[in-house]
Structure 1
Amino acid sequence: MRERGIAGVTRRRRRGLTRPAKKAVPAADLLGRDFTAPAPGLRLVGDMTFIPIDEARLYPATWLDLATREIVGYSMADQHRASLVVDALVMAAGRGRLQPGCITYSDSGSEYTSGELRRAIRRLGL
């Protein structure tokens, strides 16, 4: 691209989705920034983004297995909220590939520090 003088379109930088909850209690970093896994189903990382469409946005939430680099759970909606992240995690667990005590890791956005997600993690034995 540089040789031919081609440049991508640069859009104005937007603020990301991560909004920490006012009373959020951050969880301990059980991965210690080590984004590898000895076997599938032991370590997941989660994230959420947005896709602009016409006059609205879609919000996909995903959980990725660090051993296989495969998306093992996902969910999408027109609003970002904790239930979106929980639905994606329930999908990952429902596929039967997660080991008991599996560690989930994400940013500190309000969806990921919610009581709803913490209850789901406990209920699923993660």
Structure 2
Amino acid sequence: MLTHRVRTTGFGMTKIDTKPVSPNSGSQSSLIPHGRSTQTAKDESSQSLDGLPLGEARTIDYIVGDTPELKRRLYALGFVPGAKITKLRVAPLGDPMQVRVGGSSVSIRRQEASMIHLQSLLHSHG
């Protein structure tokens, strides 16, 4: 399995390391799986960020997509599993949208937002 380890460097920059990891290599809590290999069929009904109502906050569950570069970019911007996210604004034609993720305000395209899946309200915390 390929994983990404997200860490902050001494200059406050975010760095993402990609490497193969065996399932028995210790704590997986800081590792982000590459792709949907760990997701199950129940996730097919999950809500993506593009469908989130304005002003509503949720927690990121996982990110899908076949483009590792785009996923790395989203991770570097703070779109990581467990991060709190709120949809702030949507442009008149629906693209782009402005969201707050962590402590940052970020504008992303609807296509990128559709890759970001959110925990259900029952699992999201505050």
Normalised TM-score (structure 1): 0.25
Higher strand share: 2
Larger radius of gyration: 1
